A and B are shown apart, each in its own frame.
Chain A
């Protein structure tokens, strides 16, 4: 049987989007640290500004270093295009602003990153876009929350903080039954563990800062356009299907079809909102993406080892991760995430809030930070830090128990990670 001779994932991680620099032969991706680009003549300049021909005008809109990262991430996700942004939150805003206007509505999973929740719940309503939050496992809730004004369904591939696995094909089907796109934040999985577009998602976004970069030294975000959604099938998406005065009446669907979202997000979104990624950050993030397959494999292996240790520890009453058989999404995880369910987990410490605080204060190798997805192991106790103002009842409502520790398993030798956790767990029980 013949098969498409596509370059494989590991190869694309290293090569997609880049050719050796034609002038210098530079094999590494050069940092084009420039704001602007010399025009050949006035005709070429006019053509670039009028979308008659592609090219770079100003680094807020596009930059050659950033373009390599964009093409590479689109390749890894199987998207038709990608637009990089200053941060993951900027990517989320760019996607929302490209397809929605005042009066529109979002149906979102309630188990999402706090920053995304704040944007949908507190900030977007000021601009006339409202959101209904639903239990991501409740398919009827997704359906019943959809209104005539709904324009997108939004969730995370792995939720927060319970690491809920989204049933992507099922929720995509619900979205498509209603003529709506499914947008997913795939930061926790990366395209190495899951390719949401192949499962039915239409827009994928990432905080590239996390596992894709892996080093924790550069902020970045990306919106990946799946290219399969028909924006012109209804009148719900006029920003893509109707003439746009910003480029003399162009209709992005009419001219660019399946790449309409990518083109509009850049031509309008980066031009007007300006949350562009810096070329230096793109360079740093590219170094991370080059080793993504190797790192994610090790992240998953270390996570498995750490979970085995935690499950056997007397000071740990529970461990929550989709690879654990008691997790509600264990079977779904095996189906959708055959390479592993990521490197973020939560577990309880016997002794509640105070024991959790002592655990955090006694880790030495793990870093106590409000971040995930670093090459280094990261740990946080929400009840004594990010959620310290909440009562026990409020914590429960937020899905955060008093004894919950969130762990982002890094790439250190697993014996060292376990030794650190064992020491801190022993200390946590000496109250």
Chain B
């Protein structure tokens, strides 16, 4: 589905069905250098289980047009504008990694736009390894490789994709390689310079946080620091799963999302 936001085309995957505005809207926000397809194992399922999922391509990502936004704050304002443009009312906002930071900001600063928050691969700060940042700045393939290597749990480096024939590691690397020059660095720099501060304490909507026990990019300890700031939170643990939990454990994520969204 394509919509226009400030005369710029925004692309959203809807699970292969037309958005039913009578169903609860779910807006899904991807992480650094990625696009809507990281949610491909969830959107179609949600679309057939009583929700109206919309997995967005952020500006300059995937099939969305527009200039890259260089800070988490700018990205959050853009998402808030998009929610307004979609005209669905408050959304259930789901964010992964950089998308979780964006979602946090939206929920804190645009409280009327968000009904419920689900965060995956989340932390109050996301410092980026300087060599990764450098490789991304030089648009080297090393950046997608390092992100892929660190973003998966041990099991995902060997096997375990429930979709027959798909190989997770190259799936992630290829997705990142397809990003235009500058995209990965832009996003990583935005994550690197972001500090959530006490933002968790300002979230008023219900929050679910899902954490993977083998997440190296936002380790459970870092997630715990964020979680401690929420007034109330529904914390879910995934054993043996890394940062790319929607792809590494799609079945368990679907179950968790369905119960949290309801």
Q: Is the CB of B37 within 8 A of A19?
A: no
Contact of A255 among B43, B129, B157 (CB under 8 A): B43
Q: Which of B150-183 contact A (CB under 8 A)?
A: 155, 157-167, 169-171, 173-175, 177-178
Contact of B160 among A19, A51, A251 (CB under 8 A): A19
A4-B146, A74-B165, A266-B165 known; A255-B171 Cβ under 8 A: no
List 3 A-B pairs, minimum CB-CB distance, nearest first: A257-B37, A250-B16, A227-B174
**Cβ of A410 under 8 Å from chain B:** no
CB-defined contacts of A226 to chain B, threshold 8 Å: 174
Contact of B45 among A1, A53, A66, A251 (CB under 8 A): A53
Question: Within the assembled complex, what's the spacing in Å between the Cα atoms of A64 and B161?
Answer: 11
Residue from A46, A53, A78, A249 whose CB has the most chain B CB atoms within 10 Å: A53
User: For residue B37, which residue of chain A has the nearest CB?
Assistant: A257
User: For residue A70, which residue of chain B has the nearest CB?
Assistant: B165
Interface size on A, residues (CB 8 A): 57
Question: Within the assembled complex, what's the spacing in Å between the Cα atoms of A15 and B167?
Answer: 13
A-B contacts, 10 listed (Cβ < 8 Å): A15-B159, A17-B158, A53-B41, A54-B163, A75-B167, A80-B170, A80-B171, A254-B13, A257-B36, A258-B175
Q: Which of A5-38 contact B (CB under 8 A)?
A: 5-7, 15-19
Q: Is the CB of A54 within 8 A of B41?
A: yes
Question: Within the assembled complex, what's the spacing in Å between the Cα atoms of A262 and B166?
Answer: 8
Question: Within the assembled complex, what's the spacing in Å between the Cα atoms of A70 and B164?
Answer: 8
Contact of B161 among A5, A71, A248, A257 (CB under 8 A): A71
1/0 contact string of A236-269 vs chain B (CB within 8 Å): 0000000100011111001111110010001000
**Cβ of B128 under 8 Å from chain A:** no
Q: Is the CB of B159 within 8 A of A17?
A: yes
Q: Is the CB of A81 within 8 A of B165?
A: yes
Q: Is the CB of B164 within 8 A of A67?
A: yes
**Cβ of B89 under 8 Å from chain A:** no
CB-defined contacts of B43 to chain A, threshold 8 Å: 255
Q: Is the CB of A79 within 8 A of B170?
A: yes
Residue from B16, B37, B175 whose CB has the most chain A CB atoms within 10 Å: B16
Contact of A62 among B164, B173, B250 (CB under 8 A): B164
Q: Is the CB of A255 within 8 A of B174?
A: no
Q: Which of B235-253 contact A (CB under 8 A)?
A: 250-251
Q: Is the CB of B165 within 8 A of A262?
A: yes
1/0 contact string of A45-77 vs chain B (CB within 8 Å): 011001111111000001110111011001100
**Cβ of B131 under 8 Å from chain A:** yes
Contact of B40 among A6, A247, A249, A257 (CB under 8 A): A257
Q: Is the CB of B170 within 8 A of A56?
A: no
Q: Is the CB of A259 within 8 A of B44?
A: no
Question: Within the assembled complex, what's the spacing in Å between the Cα atoms of A73 and B13?
Answer: 29
Question: Within the assembled complex, what's the spacing in Å between the Cα atoms of A251 and B155?
Answer: 30
Question: Within the assembled complex, what's the spacing in Å between the Cα atoms of A338 and B177?
Answer: 25
Q: Is the CB of A19 within 8 A of B149?
A: no
**Cβ of B145 under 8 Å from chain A:** yes
* Chain B residues packing against A (C-beta within 8 Å): 13, 15-17, 35-37, 40-41, 43-45, 47-49, 62-63, 129, 131-132, 142, 145-146, 148-149, 155, 157-167, 169-171, 173-175, 177-178, 250-251, 254
**Dominant SS at the B interface?**
helix
User: For residue A257, which residue of chain B has the nearest CB?
Assistant: B37
A80-B174, A259-B171 known; A5-B149 Cβ under 8 A: yes
Question: Within the assembled complex, what's the spacing in Å between the Cα atoms of A55 and B164?
Answer: 7
A4-B148, A6-B145, A51-B44 known; A249-B175 Cβ under 8 A: no
User: For residue A18, which residue of chain B has the nearest CB?
Assistant: B159
Question: Within the assembled complex, what's the spacing in Å between the Cα atoms of A81 and B48?
Answer: 26
Question: Within the assembled complex, what's the spacing in Å between the Cα atoms of A3 and B150?
Answer: 10
CB-defined contacts of A53 to chain B, threshold 8 Å: 41, 45, 250-251, 254
User: For residue A251, which residue of chain B has the nearest CB?
Assistant: B16
User: For residue A222, which residue of chain B has the nearest CB?
Assistant: B165
A54-B41, A256-B37 known; A19-B159 Cβ under 8 A: yes
Question: Within the assembled complex, what's the spacing in Å between the Cα atoms of A51 and B250?
Answer: 13
A2-B132, A16-B159, A74-B170 known; A62-B16 Cβ under 8 A: no
Contact of A71 among B45, B49, B159 (CB under 8 A): B159
CB-defined contacts of A112 to chain B, threshold 8 Å: none
CB-defined contacts of A19 to chain B, threshold 8 Å: 155, 158-160
Apart from A19-B159, A230-B178, A255-B13, list 16 A-B contacts with CB within 8 A: A2-B129, A4-B149, A6-B145, A6-B157, A15-B158, A17-B159, A52-B45, A71-B165, A71-B167, A74-B170, A84-B165, A227-B174, A254-B16, A258-B171, A258-B175, A262-B165
Contact of A6 among B45, B169, B174, B254 (CB under 8 A): B169
Contact of A227 among B49, B62, B170 (CB under 8 A): B170
CB-defined contacts of B17 to chain A, threshold 8 Å: 248-249
CB-defined contacts of B146 to chain A, threshold 8 Å: 2-4
Q: Is the CB of B171 within 8 A of A81?
A: yes
A80-B170, A249-B17 known; A55-B162 Cβ under 8 A: yes
User: For residue A69, which residue of chain B has the nearest CB?
Assistant: B165
User: For residue A233, which residue of chain B has the nearest CB?
Assistant: B63
CB-defined contacts of B159 to chain A, threshold 8 Å: 15-19, 68, 71
Contact of A54 among B131, B164, B178 (CB under 8 A): B164
Question: Within the assembled complex, what's the spacing in Å between the Cα atoms of A18 and B251?
Answer: 18
